[in-house]
Structure 1
Amino acid sequence: MSWKWGGQMNNKCIYYVEGPCEQQLVAALKENPAKLIPGKIKVYNVVQNLLPKSQLLSIQCGTTIVLAFDTDVEQTTNLKKNLERLRKYCGRLHIVYLPQVLNLEDELVRCTDVQNVVDLTRSNGVRNFKTDFCKLKVKDCRAMLERHGLKTERLWTTKVPKAFAFVESNSNRIKV
């Protein structure tokens, strides 16, 4: 499967997601019928940590890089440095931002029919929610999200806090 971006065809995509719950969400949304374009998922917090140069040098020219991150902590220094490094070491990248306002739990509540994120998994609290959500099989996670009316077009579209104003609102570029 290929997708078109600015007149170019490409089929390489790498998702850098903040943690295992984001990894689970992206994997579930890539299930058939796909709601996101295919790609490799790597758990790496690009807001807290700098991407290693060795990893940057292995990214092929023209790859779509997808960055999923929370916006509840207004610290953007490393995110900005990662963007500079991606542009410096990688040729002709396409960067897609999946800013979670303020975090994954808020995104899921905003985009489903639940009032509280724990209602998705019937967990005993937010901490248990994360554990329960990540333990689900990918297909079961997708089915659970669909049962609760997940609207993927609403995911990652909320206006970001001021500290993240440099982040482009372009999550629609990876949605199928």
Structure 2
Amino acid sequence: MAQNYQYYVEGETEEKIIQVLKTDLQIIIPGKVKKFNVVEELFSPSHLTPLKRGTVAILVFDTDTDDSSIVQRNIKFLNGKSAIKSVFCIPQVKNLEEELIRCCNIRKIKELLSSKADRDFKKDVCNCNGLMSSLLKHEFDINKFWSGVRTKSWTFLRY
């Protein structure tokens, strides 16, 4: 049976980064990407209807909240469904911007895409056609990206 991968990401910026990592840079496993905030929203059976049996669910989420109860419920829900083979969690410390600062040679997130201000970064990512080039230009290091959570409320995510 072929392996299917489903990424669940918080927003458009994460969706764009996942696309670049799996397609342009080819450094993560290809799969479908769906916007779904697993820290704030609960899965329902209808969310799993389009999934093929044996799907690996990959949850990408921010940890800039102290409440991990919803994501824990989502993990338990997914693990109990026959369509899901396994669940992997990719917590972002604290958010995507901080992850990118840590794994690129930049001090502020606005440097990555030459944004006018940090607050423009998300809009600039969504409109960027050269994200891969910008990541490479700033020495993107996949080994530092998504390297783990260091906050007490997220310690259940050891993997």
TM-score range with shorter-chain normalisation?
over 0.9
Q: Aligned match of 1:120 in 98, 106, 112?
A: 112
Could you say what the CA RMSD is over the residues aligned between the two structures, in angstroms?
1.6
Measure, in 1, the Cα distance between the counterparts of 2:32 and 2:137: 26
2:149 equivalent in structure 1: 159
8 A Cα contact 1:99 1:160, kept in partner: no
Q: How far did residue 114 of structure 1 move?
A: 0.4
* SS class of match (2:42): coil
Q: How far did residue 168 of structure 1 move?
A: 2.8
8 A Cα contact 1:101 1:156, kept in partner: yes
1:39 equivalent in structure 2: 31
Structure 1: unaligned runs, 5 residues or longer? 1-8, 170-176
Measure, in 2, the Cα distance between the counterparts of 1:148 and 1:133: 15
Identity %: 32
8 A Cα contact 1:48 1:78, kept in partner: yes
Per-residue CA deviation, residues 44-93 of structure 1 (Å, 9 max, x unaligned), is 10000011211224433321111000001111111011111101223452
What TM-score do you get using the length of structure 2 for normalisation?
A: 0.92
Deviates more, 1:123-132 or 1:100-109: 123-132
Write out aligned runs for 1:99-118 (5 A).
Answer: 99-118=91-110
> 1:14 is aligned with what amino acid?
Q
Structure 2: unaligned runs, 5 residues or longer? none
Deviates more, 1:140-149 or 1:40-49: 140-149
8 A Cα contact 1:107 1:155, kept in partner: yes
- Between the two proteins, the alignment pairs up a number of residues equal to 159
2:55 equivalent in structure 1: 63
Deviates more, 1:57-66 or 1:104-113: 57-66
> 2:13 is aligned with what amino acid?
C
